[in-house]
A and B are shown apart, each in its own frame.
Chain A
Amino acid sequence: MARRFVSIWFPQLTTDWFAIRQPALSCSPFVLSAPSHGRMLITSANVAAQAQGIYTGMPVADARAIVPQLAVLDDIPDLPGKLLHRLAEWCIRFTPFVAADPPDGLFFDATGCAHLWGGEAGYLAEITRRLNKRGYAVQAAMAGTAGAAWAIARYGKKSFISDGIMDTAALLPLPPQSLRLETETIERLHKLGLSQIRDFITMPPAAMRRRFGQHFIKRLYQALGKEEEPLLPVLPVEPYQERLPALEPIVTAAGIEIALQRLLGVLCRRLLQEGKGLRIARFKCFCADGKTSVIETGTHQASCSAAHLFKLFESKLNNVEPGLGIELFILEALQTEDILPIQEKLWKTDSGLNDTRLSELLDRLEGKIGSGHIHRYLPDEHYWPERSIKLAASPLEKPGTAWRNDKPRPLHLLHQPEPVEVTAPIPDYPPMLFRYKGVLHKIIKADGPERIEQEWWMAEGQHRDYYAVEDEEGRRYWLFRSGHYTAEKLYQWFLHGFFA
């Protein structure tokens, strides 16, 4: 497919923005000014001011002499950059690839987009109309290269569309400034009487490079499509992204649901064909008033089931604020993974953790209660009880080491060991009595001690001597003494768990 680029030029970007913010300004001449070398210079002037002979770079005092009632506003530094970025994000509705072209333009890579607006003329007219409606004066052009589109938008006919073959012909009558050259090169070209591109386009490249430098050749070739021009999109294009523009702004929940279902259907079909599954998905709704609602959802296991993903999104659809109506829906797969093909079985069996029904259940639970509440544990190579387990990173991760079963471990482990009062014979016999929450327990049977040292390379602290004890009613506890029986250091008994 032939590449198509649109260049949009905002001749009055900053003054238009001020006029939108303060509608009273729009009819009268006004200028923006900034201090420079101890005087105020005009950084931009609106159309009314320009008509009176005021131009950018003129001192404010001179302008005041021409137009005494001139309104002078303070310019905001780096305003054009911010404005361009915001406009570029808004223009995502026309193409997924929008690049800012500082100081006062935008580039679209519109390859394959125009037919959605009924052809290139309609596409360009719609862009111009929508931007004009927002209050910006624009000139737009479409061509086979970004460079040619830039040149035509600024120096050619208004709203000109050049197909790829006619690009060169359209460029011929344009001045050399339209090639985005440095000021010295332009001056030199004019001094040599080369005031149109047609004057030098036929010259041998070697001769031109010697006189005007490599940059000149590069720009010329970029405009002619002989060299690729790198553009930086304002939003990185997601490899898995589906768009659904709405004819009429959508405000109802049912409409949003239908849009989501349709996008999910298309995306899932594509993922299925490529053997991929979705882990994180993002659903964006672009509203007519320029606001964007975003909802995200994630799955435990890569999934390409549209029905399941819709269920996950459904609970969050309430967060979408349609405002004046949604014009564009975008569904992106932020993270995808390969799906391992699963052998289908004729009858249902317990396939354990590797089951889509189970992962769908977990997604539903997480969708309601929030993420980070579903845990699965694997053994970790530590003796310290709190560190002997770790969370499984993925739903199918297998234990790296075997679970230990040589030492008794309680079925219930308290999150924080609770201090208890203990009567125990020294040096290291198990306790005879202990008092926990006001109840005295007489210990009949006991096992231990099992000494577990603190791992000094991870944390500082005293070792623990663990005892498994049973009281007169058969209830079993896991007690430990922290530290040695010495006068200098404190030792304390704790209850840490309950055996079954």
Chain B
Amino acid sequence: MQGSKADIIAQLQKDILPLQGYKHGTNSIAVDAGLGPVRDAFPNGLFPVSAVHEFICHGKEDAAATGGFILGILAALMKNAGAVLWVSSSRTIFPPALVFFGIAPEKIIFADLPNEKDVLWAVEEALKCDALSAVVGETSMLSFTASRRLQLAVEQSKVTGFILRNQARNININTTACLTRWKITSLESSFDNGLPGLGFPRWKIALLKVRNGRPGNWQLEWNERRFRDIMHVTPVLTIPQKKTG
């Protein structure tokens, strides 16, 4: 009797997940890219594709760090020759830098709209187009209704959406129907062997909200075109370098 009850609960949980936006259609692919511990936050242990992810950032530096994290995931999403639409009204992305994330920059189509209020419309149209691998939208405002429209579009087409919300500090962020909410900030880089100069980019990944999962904080490094967990890497004592010459 006990066993059957557990079975029923497991079955019910399995049924609830698709209702909450965790859809794994036939064309969905497992996003690995070394996300490692981050994936454990999600119910199936898989990064949810065919969903809308919301990223919060304050300022240009954070936007760059968030962009880096998104591109790491995009690289995994685009592995089978997909195209990505990047919708923005104030784009500063520099295409040659995408090479460092393992993305061919010519595969990304940039829609530079003159008005910010058209961004959400364009993102929704694009999310309905299943020829795309993913859609990235940069906008500061995302109302609950708009986010629900995006989620409905995604459920039909199985495209993954990323909404980058660059907002000034101290603004209450409204509830949205997005599956997750992230906040990415930069971390100090360091080489394991104490070399001078800039190391691999490191980010503090904060998963603020995730439906039916466990929010958490992680520290990842983008290294050799993969994410690497650095939470548990013990830093090597650096010896101060003397410049010669």
Chain A contact residues, CB within 8 Å of chain B: 348-353, 355, 357-358, 360-362, 364-365, 368-370, 373-379, 385, 388-389, 392, 397-399, 403-405, 408-415, 429, 444-447, 468-470, 472-477, 497-500
Contacts and interface: CB of A to CB of B under 8 A. Distances in A.
B7 to A, nearest CB: 34
Contacts of B121: 368
Interface stretch (B13-21, B88-96, B141-149, B206-214): B88-96
Interface in B75-106: 80-83, 85, 92-101, 104-106
Interface residues of B, number: 59
A475 B101 CA distance: 18
A378 B132 CA distance: 19
Question: Sorted from nearest, which 7 A-B pairs have the closest CB atoms?
Answer: A500-B68, A413-B94, A498-B64, A350-B82, A357-B131, A474-B186, A474-B188
Nearest to B79: A350
Contacts of B198: 408, 445-447, 468-470, 476
B3 interface: no
Contacts of A378: 106
Contacts of A447: 197-198
Nearest to B111: A374
Contacts of A444: 188
Which of A352, A405, A429, A472 has the most chain B CB atoms closer than 10 A to its own CB? A352
25 contacts: A350-B82, A350-B132, A353-B83, A353-B107, A355-B83, A365-B111, A368-B118, A369-B113, A376-B110, A385-B94, A389-B96, A392-B106, A404-B96, A409-B100, A410-B97, A411-B97, A412-B67, A412-B94, A445-B197, A446-B198, A475-B61, A475-B186, A499-B68, A500-B67, A500-B68
Most A CB atoms within 10 A — which of B99, B109, B188, B196?
B109
A375 B82 contact: no
Contacts, number: 178
B181 interface: no
**Interface SS of B by simple majority:** mixed
A395 to B, nearest CB: 8
A369 B113 CA distance: 7
B242 interface: no
A499 B106 contact: no
B82 A352 contact: yes
A299 B108 CA distance: 19
A349 B131 CA distance: 8
B177 interface: no
Nearest to A361: B129
Contacts of A355: 83, 131
B179 interface: no
B81 A445 contact: no
A499 B93 CA distance: 10
A125 to B, nearest CB: 53
Nearest to A412: B92
A474 B64 contact: no
B222 interface: yes
A358 B96 contact: no
Contacts of B107: 352-353
B65 interface: yes
Contacts of A403: 96, 99, 104-105
Nearest to A472: B188
B243 interface: yes
A264 to B, nearest CB: 22
